[in-house]
Structures are given as structure tokens and as C-alpha cells.
Amino acid sequence: MKKNQKIAVIGGGLMGHGIALTFARAGHYVAVHDPVPETLQSLPQRVSDSLRLLNTSDTDIAKALSRIELCDGIKATVIDADAVFEAAPEKLELKQAIFAEVEAHASGDAILASNTSVIQITKIMEHLTLRQRALGTHWWNPPHMIPLVEVVKTEWTDPAVADKMIDLLADAGKTPALVEKDVPGFIGNRLQHALWREAISLVENGICSAKAVDDVVKASFGRRLAVLGPLENADLVGLELTQDIHRQVLFDLDARPEPSPVLQSLLDKGRTGMVAGHGFRKWTDEDFERTKSRIAQHLCALERILQENLKHNTGL
Ligand SMILES: NC(=O)c1ccc[n+]([C@@H]2O[C@H](COP(=O)([O-])OP(=O)(O)OC[C@H]3O[C@@H](n4cnc5c(N)ncnc54)[C@H](O)[C@@H]3O)[C@@H](O)[C@H]2O)c1
């Protein structure tokens, strides 16, 4: 993988800072643009804080920061870029306008990637002239701690461009997964929200409490999900058993195509979630910060364990 590539990041918020630090740490030169001056100016400090959380040494933090340039405007950011990552707010018209400007100034062979959570990549890229070099890269939050990046092809994406993006991400330490078709929710959110729909339905139908749902997941299959995917698990227990279980259970699972009415009734009562003090469950003022810190500590510890296991198993 060629180092010292130029990576452009449009939008230096939560996701943009993580994308920038990932490539700067991997030895690339990163240009970042954000129209909000305070956000742009605070980016190096946020990158430094996140790298420190990952136990990065002061020398390596300084090296990464020296590869990040803060830019005024899209033109200066994308000129001569090898790849452009857009991480601006989740609004279709805004993203389309950004890519129109990016295309006007980026070189013809730069890869253009949107980090949209749920907007179809096809919609964002439909007005581009060179649509074959455009795709989605769906990073997960926190972007510097969650390895997955879904690489989403549209019907126009050149497979060689998707391969190049996969190589770039893998070289930067991410775990890319190719999504061949631009479907809502890509892979991860489809799986995650199939689980959330059933979780809400269990509570809605009086089968158990919200706490019981969370306890069951955290104390059982949630524990092994980081090392055993669902299809590996199906192969492990055997496909006959999988088929038998599906015959007995699938017919009774929630399959409604719209959000549960429970969500609207909680929202109507102001029970909007942790920050409001009440969602499915009750929360204190401290719980929000405590929960975020628990997740960060867990992800760091898990990464260390996974790396140690890898070394042990491969003898490296
Ligand atoms: N936060 C998540 O969990 C998450 C996960 C995956 C994907 N995403 C997606 O990533 C994108 C960015 O999300 P985020 O969480 O980083 O949001 P954010 O609000 O933290 O960052 C967005 C940044 O874009 C900037 N911005 C506003 N207008 C802009 C413009 N015209 N050009 C360039 N930048 C502009 C804002 O100033 C802000 O700093 C969204 O599409 C979001 O849906 C978010």
C-alpha cells in the first residue's frame, strides 16, 4: 500500500475526526475541512485525546498530528486527493451539494466516499459525472475504536474502485466489509435493528422487562459476538439444528414493517432516552457519561485481548 497518500475529509465532527486520525496514524497525509471554525480548530486536540485513549505514545501522537492539515473550503481540501471521505450532517441535499463541489475540484481518479448512516449512496451520488469512482464507506462510532467499515457499492461503482478502498482501509487497520448492493441499513444496521425490533416487541407484549432484554443479551450471546459471527455460530451448532429452531421460532417473531407504536408513546411522554433521564429505562444525570466511559473502556480492553489472542494463535 502506497503511504503518504492524500486523504481529504469533509466534515470534522465526531466521525470526521476519527477518519482523519485513522489515516494520519497509518502514515497518510490528511486534509480536513469543516465550515464551523471552532470545530475545525479543535480537531487536533480531539484527535490527540482519542489517540491517548488508545494508549498511543506522545511521539506517535505528534507524528499523526503533523500529517493533518486544516483547510479552508472544499477546493483546497480535495485538490490532488487520492480519496475523499464526506462526514457532513445527514442531509441528502447537503451531501449532494458537497459532492458536486468535490467533483469540480478533485482529480478524476480520486475515490469519493460518503459516510452516510442511512441515506442511499445511489441517491447521494446520482448527479455525479464520474459515478464509477463513488461509493459508501460506513464507519461506526466511535470511528477510532470500532474496526468495521462497510464499503457500499452502487450499481455504477467500478469493482476495482471498491477493491482499492478495501485495501486502503485494511492497511489503515480497519476491517472493511463489502456491501454489493446499496440496500437500506447496509449490513450492520439491518442486523442490529432486526434485534432491536424484537427487543422492543418483547417488552411491548409483556414477555419481559427492558432490563431483562438487556441482561439476556449482555450475559449470553452478546459475550461471544465479538469472536463468533451469527453464520459461524450456525455452522458451529450445525445447520440442521438451525433449521429446527427456525421452524419453531421464526413464525412468532415481530415482522412489522414500521416502528413499534411503543416508541411514539414513549416519545409523546418526553421519554426520549438517557439524556432525558427516561427512555425504556430510567437514568440518572451521571449515567450518560458513565455509560460512554464504560463502552470506551470495554472496547479498548477487548481490542487488547483480541490482539493478544491473535499473537498467541499465530505465534507472532
Ligand atoms: N455519529 C455516529 O454514530 C455516526 C455513525 C456512522 C455514520 N454517521 C454519519 O456520519 C456523518 C457525520 O456524522 P457525525 O456524527 O460526525 O456528525 P457531527 O455533527 O459530529 O459532524 C458533522 C460535521 O459536519 C460539519 N458540516 C456542516 N455543514 C458542512 C458542510 N457544508 N461541509 C462540510 N462539513 C459540514 C459540521 O460543522 C460538523 O462538524 C453523518 O452522515 C452521520 O449520519 C454517524
220 falls within a domain = yes
Domain identity same for 149 and 254:
no
Tell me what the pLDDT averaged over the chain comes to: 96
Atom 3 (ligand 1): residue with closest C-alpha? 141
Domain identity same for 174 and 195:
no
- % of the chain beyond a pLDDT of 70: 99
- Digit-coded pLDDT (tens) for 117-170: 999 999 999 999 999 999 999 999 999 989 999 999 999 999 999 999 999 999
Amino acid 303: pLDDT: 85
Domain identity same for 82 and 135:
yes
174 falls within a domain = yes
Domain identity same for 83 and 196:
no
- Return the CATH number at 53: 3.40.50.720
299 falls within a domain = no
- Digit-coded pLDDT (tens) for 230-283: 999 999 999 999 999 999 999 999 999 999 999 999 999 999 999 999 999 999
The alpha carbon of 304 and the centre of ligand 1 are apart by a number of angstroms equal to 29
pLDDT band for position 311 (50/70/90)? Answer: confident
Amino acid 55: pLDDT: 85
Domain identity same for 193 and 101:
no
309 falls within a domain = no
Does pLDDT of 315 surpass 70? no
- Exactly one of 117, 193, 204, 278 is catalytic; name it: 117
- Burial label for 214, CB within 10 Å (0-12, 13-18, 19+), is middle
- Digit-coded pLDDT (tens) for 183-197: 999 999 999 999 999
Domain identity same for 76 and 175:
yes
* pLDDT mean over 71-90: 97
Does pLDDT of 201 surpass 80? yes
The alpha carbon of 144 and the centre of ligand 1 are apart by a number of angstroms equal to 15
117 catalytically annotated: yes
Does pLDDT of 316 surpass 70? no
Domain, as residue range, for 98? 6-179
- Return the CATH number at 250: 1.10.1040.10
286 catalytically annotated: no
74 falls within a domain = yes
Domain identity same for 277 and 213:
yes
Does pLDDT of 81 surpass 70? yes
pLDDT band for position 74 (50/70/90)? Answer: very high
Amino acid 277: pLDDT: 97
- % of the chain beyond a pLDDT of 90: 90
Amino acid 304: pLDDT: 86
Say how many domains are in the chain: 2
215 falls within a domain = yes
The alpha carbon of 115 and the centre of ligand 1 are apart by a number of angstroms equal to 8
Domain identity same for 174 and 88:
yes
Domain identity same for 209 and 96:
no
Domain identity same for 211 and 110:
no
274 falls within a domain = yes
55 catalytically annotated: no
Domain identity same for 199 and 255:
yes
- Digit-coded pLDDT (tens) for 292-303: 899 989 998 998
127 catalytically annotated: no
Amino acid 214: pLDDT: 98
Which of 157, 179, 201 is a domain's end point?
Answer: 179
Which of 179, 212, 243 is a domain's end point?
Answer: 179
32 falls within a domain = yes
Domain identity same for 118 and 223:
no
